[in-house]
Structure 1
Amino acid sequence: MTTTVKIPTTGWYVLGNARLHQSLTPDLDGPVDRDGFALVDIAVADGRIKGIAPRGDRPEPPRAIDLAGRIVLPRFVDCHTHLDKGHIWPRMPNPDGSFMGALDAAGSDRLVHWSAEDVARRMDFSLRTAYAHGTKAIRTHLDSIAPQEEISWPVFAEMREQWRGRIELQAASLIGIEGVREETWFAKLARRVAEARGVLGAVTYMVPDLDVLLDRVFRAAIDCGLDLDFHADETEDLAAVSLRRIAEAALRHRFEGKILVGHCCALSRQPDREVKVTLDRAAAAGLGVVSLPMCNLYLQDRRADGTTPRWRGVTLLHEMKVRGIPVAVASDNTRDPFYAYGDLDMLEVYRTATRVLHFDHPVADWPRAVAATPADMMGLDGVGTLTVGGPADLVIFRGRSWTELLSRPEADRIVVRDGRAIERKLPDYDELDDLMGGTNGYRGAEV
């Protein structure tokens, strides 16, 4: 029998018979099942969690809500996205699904369309989507090639203020590493990022002067007091070892800030001896790594001859985790030339990661990869876990086990912010039709 769940809008209440995961609940007490879940009662008052106790005698309704064993997770943390690119697919699709096709299409769209209004409206659309799905914090990369940085960073600052209290929003600069050669311009960009309380970022390639350019990035981060965020080795090229070079640069500079590195796809194709050296140095340098399974499944090993892809683009998260390297998964691109699909739904990301990266048998503490670990990578205290005294920011699902939770979209999940259920209304795509030239995603078709 289906249990109807209605969260009170005022006063205190108890979520009884809830299923919490031990990796996301530091205050959890009592026995857990083989997947790490425990049945508990969660007391909520004044927007905060007042208690988490093993399932027991509960107050009578209406203040007691029997969840009948449903899974409850903290709101998600999405540490690698591209909100400034989001939803441009209808007006600028990828012509062939390739990485170069994505670069060319996105660059062309940026030059023609990325005004402050265009970027702001698409970012707000994306944030409303992520919020409805249960995300609490997002880091977005911002294309910062001149003159776009003069447009997108002020838009980001305004958007962060508008969303304060609903989504914690961070931004990282995104430029190709060759842009760092322009010393004066790069120093100005680093100051802009610092003024915006952002993160300094770049895309690394195996250019001859990579170490020199990385040293320049690290010195700028140290001078400006910034954390770092890199795109690295998003390729099948065996010679792509910029993850290792980043780690070596961090060790050279004795860097004390946080460093997050995304993609690292090439690592999964390299010889074991090379992998060991890279991972040992990454661990010593204190790097964190985020894999983007949905986008890399889409782009990597796409073959011009129409044959089936032979490898799937994810990096070696299991091997990293064993070495103590913090690892996460995230959404990456959404409905743009780099990924034609997606909805900034971290449950979808985790479902895909579980199937592709084998986050199961055992489940262990892999749920941290979409909540507590990326929160730590982003420097967010008290986010990504459910703790006594912490905010009642959580998501209530219908699934009572991983196999139930990850088998359906869970479109009717309940998202709770500060103890109250939010209105989960996803924005309609037609809101952006005027930005897309009225195509609504059907270029040249009659609607």
Structure 2
Amino acid sequence: MTAQLVLHEQLAAGARMSRYVLRNVRLNSAVTNWSAMDAAGFFLADLTVEHGRILATTPARREPTATDDRLPIIDAGGRVMLPTFVDCHTHLDKGHILPRTPTANGTFERALAATRADRTTNWSAADVFKRMDFALRSAFHHGTSAIRTHIDSQPPQDAISWPVFTELRQHWRGRIDLQASCLFPIDMARDDAFLNSMARRVAAAGGTLGAVAYPAPDIDHLLDRMFAAAARNGLDLDFHADETSDPTADALRRIAEAKLRASFAGKVLVGHCCSLAVQDEAIVDATLDTVATASVAVVALPTCNLYLQDRRNGATPRWRGVTLLHEMKKRGIAVALASDNTRDPFHSYGDLDMLDTFRLGTRVLHLDHPSGDWIRAVTTTPAEVMGLGAKGGIAEGQPADFILYEGRSWSEVLSRAESNRIVIRNGTPISTSLPSYAELDGLEGLALG
């Protein structure tokens, strides 16, 4: 039996007794209330878990203290412990349709067309439920405890997918906190009946109002309508913007200006923002200053944008496609990383594993040397953006939801897939396996030919 399996069994035994001490875990100051002990922000600690919550965190002791013989004391051997992940930008309703979209070729335009065709033909309630639940089982196994998914909401799909989301949210309650944001082309906001009906549907589901903001002739007017609808219904906003290499794409700036015009008090999250990386510095500075003033948050999607951006047949891509997180963070802009698409025409790969997203983001966006507090981008920051309070951190009094890795440093954790990580929820290690792709074979067009 491997050391990880032994540790898993010890934790399970401790959970059955409702109280245990986990010694010598390596916590990071970015996601706890402690001060850093080494250059990477790590320190050794002992955690006491009682009835599924963190009772105490104390500096690691060199020797066990005298205690009740019946209380399990488990030595983690200096393994890194991080909070469970918060994934604030996904597309669960699109997930795993790739086998049905043979015309997809890795470009944004073809992905849009292929997804639209598949949605029109195949997205029944049963199809959407099966694929979304498959994705959620994967995310849960990998250690994600909260997800916001965008829901394609052009009629008649809205009447199919939103009830499915509501059912899944109830089904997964207590395991994954689920939020949803509607997704439609922003020019549909010209229609009063549609916009008001959609805002009511989203509000009834406790969701977020969202759209794809692209350069429409009346984009500022459409944004004003979105902000007004959100304010009337007490909703936050979540936009897709500037997912292009066109340097004239400036929806991020316009969204920030619209928030300021509206004196909007809710939260606003904007995803992608790729065009910033190909704009002149003066334009970038002006845009980011406005975004900072408006307190707009930004989420980067490295897996999808590396896959889609600058794709030209037979040519090597010349830029990374990701947005300017370092420049944003220096201005105090809240920044996050998220999974985005999974095995669909917008991204042919992925498994909703946020460690994989963070590993890729660290390498592509140079979130290291120093590593700083970038781990917040997949834990505490998206939790704050989603209004989830203290989720995404490790603190006394909070649920004992965390992930225990085999690695003892950032280099060790981020160099391997850590497929044997131990995910602890409410103090108990989960014992799940990844769902088999064969489970999707019963859906139209998804069986391997």
Taking structure 1 as the reference length, the TM-score comes to 0.96
Task: Give matches, 1:370-409, under 5 Å.
Answer: 370-409=378-417
Structure 2 counterpart SS, 1:42: strand
Residue identity opposite 1:44 in structure 2: V
Give 1:194's aligned residue. 203
Quick check: 1:9 aligned with 2:9?
no
Is the CA contact (8 Å cut-off) linking 2:53 and 2:398 kept in structure 1? yes
Is the CA contact (8 Å cut-off) linking 1:69 and 1:400 kept in structure 2? yes
Structure 2: distance between partners of 1:427 and 1:170: 22
Quick check: 1:48 aligned with 2:57?
no
Structure 2 counterpart SS, 1:433: helix
Give 2:316's aligned residue. 308
Structure 1: distance between partners of 2:132 and 2:355: 20
Is the CA contact (8 Å cut-off) linking 2:440 and 2:447 kept in structure 1? no
Quick check: 1:322 aligned with 2:327?
no
Give 1:85's aligned residue. 94
Structure 1: distance between partners of 2:218 and 2:331: 29
Residue identity opposite 2:263 in structure 1: R
Residue identity opposite 2:52 in structure 1: G
Post-superposition shift, 1:93?
3.9
Post-superposition shift, 1:70?
0.4
Q: Which runs of 5+ in 1 are unaligned?
A: 443-447
Post-superposition shift, 1:62?
6.7
Work out the percentage of aligned pairs sharing the same amino acid.
56
Structure 2: distance between partners of 1:22 and 1:409: 23
Task: Give matches, 1:114-129, under 5 Å.
Answer: 114-129=123-138
Is the CA contact (8 Å cut-off) linking 2:182 and 2:211 kept in structure 1? yes
Structure 1 counterpart SS, 2:203: helix
Structure 1 counterpart SS, 2:355: helix
Is the CA contact (8 Å cut-off) linking 2:99 and 2:446 kept in structure 1? no
Give 2:83's aligned residue. 74
Structure 2 counterpart SS, 1:109: helix
Structure 2: distance between partners of 1:308 and 1:330: 25
Structure 2: distance between partners of 1:89 and 1:12: 45
Deviation string 1:250-285 (CA, Å, 9 cap, x unpaired) is 000000000000000000110000001000000011
Quick check: 1:103 aligned with 2:112?
yes
Q: Deviation above 2 Å: which 4+ runs of structure 1?
A: 1-4, 57-62, 436-440
Structure 2 counterpart SS, 1:432: helix
Residue identity opposite 2:337 in structure 1: V
Post-superposition shift, 1:89?
0.7
Is the CA contact (8 Å cut-off) linking 2:19 and 2:71 kept in structure 1? no
Quick check: 1:21 aligned with 2:15?
no
1:37 to 25, 33, 42: 42
Is the CA contact (8 Å cut-off) linking 2:97 and 2:446 kept in structure 1? no
Structure 2 counterpart SS, 1:90: helix
Give 1:163's aligned residue. 172
Is the CA contact (8 Å cut-off) linking 1:190 and 1:200 kept in structure 2? yes
1:203 to 194, 206, 212: 212
Is the CA contact (8 Å cut-off) linking 1:94 and 1:338 kept in structure 2? no
Quick check: 1:232 aligned with 2:241?
yes
Structure 1 counterpart SS, 2:100: coil
Change (3 A) 1:114 1:189: same
Structure 2: distance between partners of 1:436 and 1:346: 29
Quick check: 1:424 aligned with 2:432?
yes
Residue identity opposite 2:148 in structure 1: R
Give 2:369's aligned residue. 361
Post-superposition shift, 1:438?
5.4
RMSD of aligned C-alpha atoms?
1.3
Which stretch shows the higher mean deviation, 11-20 or 136-145?
11-20
Post-superposition shift, 1:183?
1.8
Quick check: 1:277 aligned with 2:247?
no
Change (3 A) 1:367 1:344: same
Post-superposition shift, 1:340?
0.3
Is the CA contact (8 Å cut-off) linking 1:228 and 1:257 kept in structure 2? yes
Change (3 A) 1:325 1:121: same
Aligned residues: 438
Structure 1: distance between partners of 2:358 and 2:164: 30
Structure 2: distance between partners of 1:346 and 1:105: 26
Post-superposition shift, 1:95?
2.7
Post-superposition shift, 1:94?
4.9
Is the CA contact (8 Å cut-off) linking 1:88 and 1:436 kept in structure 2? no
Is the CA contact (8 Å cut-off) linking 1:75 and 1:371 kept in structure 2? yes
Which stretch shows the higher mean deviation, 69-78 or 52-61?
52-61
Post-superposition shift, 1:437?
3.0
Is the CA contact (8 Å cut-off) linking 1:90 and 1:436 kept in structure 2? no
Q: Which runs of 5+ in 2 are unaligned?
A: none
